[in-house]
Amino acid sequence: MSNIKLAEKFNNLTLESEDHWDYRGTNNSERDYVHGFCTYPAMMVPKMQREMLQVCLAEMSIPHPQLLDPFAGSGTILVEGMLQGLDVVGIDINPLAVLLCKVKTTLINVKMLEQHAAQLITNIEQVNNVTYHQFKGIEKWFTAQAICDLSKIRTAITKDENLEIRRFFWAAFCEVVRMVSNSRDCTYKLHIKDAEDINTYNKDAISLFKETLTFNSIKHNEFYSVLKRRGYIRRDGVSYKGSVKIILGDCIAYLQHTKKKFDLIFTSPPYGDNHTTVSYGQYSVIPLRWINSNDIDESIDEKLLNTLYEIDNISLGGMSSNKYVTRNKKNIVKKSETLKEQINTITEIAPKQVNKLISFYSDFDRFLATISKKMKPASVSVWTLGNRKVAKQEIYMNKIMVELGLRYNLSLLTNFTRKILNKRMPKINAYTGDEKDIQGTMTREHILIFKRSDIADE
Ligand SMILES: C[S@@+](CC[C@H](N)C(=O)[O-])C[C@H]1O[C@@H](n2cnc3c(N)ncnc32)[C@H](O)[C@@H]1O
C-alpha cells in the first residue's frame, strides 16, 4: 500500500468541501441495513466509516484483509467490514454490545426467520398465565403494565429452540425494554422519570415489539440481499463467506493472548472512564437483566449485572484507586507532554478528578502498547476520537494519542475533524463533578489515521 497516496486521498476528500465528513442530512446519517437494530451509546456514522474503509481498501493490495475493532460497541465496523467481504474481529467488554455484534453479523435463512417470527407473535398472544420476571429494582424501572407485557414477550422468546433466532429476538426486545422503561432518555445514565410521566405511562410494549421485530427483519433481509449480490454468501445460500469472530471481554487481555495480526484497525475507543463520560454499562444493565445471559455468551459472568456500575468499573479507566494511580502516574506523564500538562492543570483546579484521568490514560497506553504488536507491518489504523472535558477543560485525546502512538511505532498519516450532531454526549462530556453543572459541548470528532511504521521490536 502506498501510504502517501492514502494520506493524499483522505486530504483531497477533506479539502473537497468544508463539511465532507460531517455526513449531515437524512440520507447521509441514515443507519441502513442492520445498523439500526438497537440503540447503543456513541454509535459511529455507518456511511462515513464506509467511505473511509473503501478509501483504505482501494489502496491495499492484500488479498484478504483482516479487520479488527477492539472497542466494537454496536458493531458498526464489523457490519461495514462484511459489506466489503472482509474477515472481521470485534471485541467488547459490554455484553449488550456483544449481543448486538453477534446479531448484526449473523445471517439467518429469510424464510426461517419469517416462520419463527410469526410463531413468536402467536406465542406472545397466547401466553395466559404469565410468570412475572423478577430482578432487583424491576419495580423502580418499569410500570406493572410494562412488567406484564415484557414478561410475556420474554417467556415466548425463551421457547424458541434456535439460539441464533433467539438472539435476533433479544436484540429487538432490548430496544423495547429501553423504550418502555421509567428511565429518562435524555442521558445514557439511568435517571428515573418524574412520577407524573410514569403515571401517565401508556406504551404498549407488545405492539412496539412487533413493530421493532418487523423493522429488524426487513433490515436483516436487505443486508442479506446486498451481501448475496456482492458474492459474499457461501454456496449453502445462508452463511457469510468470510470469517466473523466476536469476543466478550477486555480487549487488552484478548490481544495479549491471540496470535492473530491485523491489516486494518477501525475503532472508536471510549473518550474517558465510563463513569464520567458515557456510561455504556449503566445504559445496558437493565435490558441485560431481562434476557438470558447464556444466550449472549457462555463465558458471561452474571456478577457483572449485580450492580448498575460493574460493567463501567471493568471498562477502560474504570479502576481509579489511589494505589493504581500512584503506580502508573510517573510512567504515563513521561510518555505524553500534552497529558502531563493537562494532568498538572486538573491537579490544580479539580484535584478530585485527576485520578480518573490518570487511570484512563494508563489503561489506554497499555492498550496501545498491546495492539501495536498485533498490527501487521504497514498496517493502517483509523481512530475516531472525542475530546471530553474535565472541569471545563478540554482533554486533547487527539494530541495525546499521537504522542503515545509514537512510542509504539504508530506514525500519523493524516487527520481531520468532523462536526457531530444528534448525540447525547454534550451533556455528559462536560463533567465537572457536579451533575447540575453539566453544560459543555462536544461538537467535534477527530479522525486520526496511522500506519504501523516499524516492527523492530517484534
Ligand atoms: C465509543 S464505543 C464504540 C462504539 C462503536 N464504534 C459503535 O459504532 O457502536 C466504545 C466501546 O468500548 C467498550 N470498551 C470499554 N472498555 C473496554 C475494554 N477494556 N475492552 C473492550 N471494550 C471496551 C465499551 O463497552 C464501548 O462499547
Q: How far is CA 376 from CA 66, 182, 354, in A?
A: 10, 47, 35
Whether the pLDDT of residue 86 is over 90: the answer is: yes
Q: How confident is the model at residue 437 (pLDDT cuts 50, 70, 90)?
A: very low
| Residue bearing the CA closest to ligand 1, atom 12 | 71
Q: Which of 71, 246, 374, 381 for mutating ligand 1's site (highest number of atoms within 8 Å of CB)?
A: 71
Mean predicted lDDT score pLDDT of the chain? 91
Interior angle at CA 82, CA 81 and CA 83, nearest 5? 90
Whether the pLDDT of residue 311 is over 90: the answer is: yes
Per-residue model confidence (pLDDT) at position 429: 43
Distance 92 CA to ligand 1 centre (A): 6
Per-residue model confidence (pLDDT) at position 455: 54
Partners of 416 in beta bridges = 447
Per-residue model confidence (pLDDT) at position 322: 87
What architecture is domain 3-100+251-273+318-452? 3-Layer(aba) Sandwich (3.40)
Residue with cell 501495536: 372
Q: Which of 43, 57, 81 is nearest to 188 (CA)?
A: 43
The string of pLDDT tens digits covering residues 133-171 is: 999 999 999 999 999 999 999 999 999 999 999 999 999
Per-residue model confidence (pLDDT) at position 143: 95
Distance CA(437)–CA(142), nearest Å, equals 29
Distance CA(106)–CA(134), nearest Å, equals 30
Report which secondary-structure segment, H or E, holds 247.
Answer: strand 244-248
Is residue 97 within 6 Å of ligand 1 at its C-beta? yes
The span from the first CA to the last CA of the chain, in angstroms, equals 21
Across 264-276, average pLDDT: 95
Distance 87 CA to ligand 1 centre (A): 20
Q: How confident is the model at residue 230 (pLDDT cuts 50, 70, 90)?
A: very high
Asked if 136 and 188 touch (Cβ cutoff 8 Å), the reply is no
Ligand 1 atom with minimal separation from the 91 CA: 21
Per-residue model confidence (pLDDT) at position 430: 42
Is residue 268 within 6 Å of ligand 1 at its C-beta? yes
Residue bearing the bigger pLDDT, 421 or 138: 138
The string of pLDDT tens digits covering residues 36-70 is: 999 999 999 999 999 999 999 998 788 889 999 99
Ligand 1 atom with minimal separation from the 44 CA: 8
What cell was used for 136?
432487583
How many other CB atoms are found less than 10 A from the CB of residue 118? 10
Distance CA(63)–CA(68), nearest Å, equals 16
Distance CA(373)–CA(293), nearest Å, equals 33
Is residue 270 within 6 Å of ligand 1 at its C-beta? yes
Whether the pLDDT of residue 264 is over 50: the answer is: yes
Across 380-402, average pLDDT: 96
The DSSP letter of residue 431 is -
The DSSP letter of residue 424 is S
Distance 324 CA to ligand 1 centre (A): 22
Distance 75 CA to ligand 1 centre (A): 10
Is residue 363 within 6 Å of ligand 1 at its C-beta? no
Is residue 315 within 6 Å of ligand 1 at its C-beta? yes
Across 199-203, average pLDDT: 82
Residue bearing the bigger pLDDT, 215 or 434: 215
Is residue 288 within 6 Å of ligand 1 at its C-beta? no
- Helix, strand, or coil (residue 444): strand
Is residue 92 within 6 Å of ligand 1 at its C-beta? yes
Q: Which of 93, 265, 309, 366 for mutating ligand 1's site (highest number of atoms within 8 Å of CB)?
A: 93
Whether the pLDDT of residue 401 is over 80: the answer is: yes
Lowest mean pLDDT: which of 64-78, 89-103, 416-430? 416-430
Partners of 452 in beta bridges = 410
Whether the pLDDT of residue 438 is over 60: the answer is: no
Per-residue model confidence (pLDDT) at position 421: 63
Is residue 250 within 6 Å of ligand 1 at its C-beta? yes
Distance 90 CA to ligand 1 centre (A): 10
Across 374-385, average pLDDT: 95
Q: Which of 74, 256, 280 for mutating ligand 1's site (highest number of atoms within 8 Å of CB)?
A: 280
303-312 burial, b at 16+ Cβ within 10 Å, e below that, comes to ebbeebebbb
Is residue 143 within 6 Å of ligand 1 at its C-beta? no
Is residue 88 within 6 Å of ligand 1 at its C-beta? no
Residue with cell 494508563: 362
Whether the pLDDT of residue 187 is over 80: the answer is: no
Is residue 397 within 6 Å of ligand 1 at its C-beta? no
Is residue 280 within 6 Å of ligand 1 at its C-beta? yes
Is residue 208 within 6 Å of ligand 1 at its C-beta? no
C-alpha torsion 363→366→372→373, nearest 10: -140
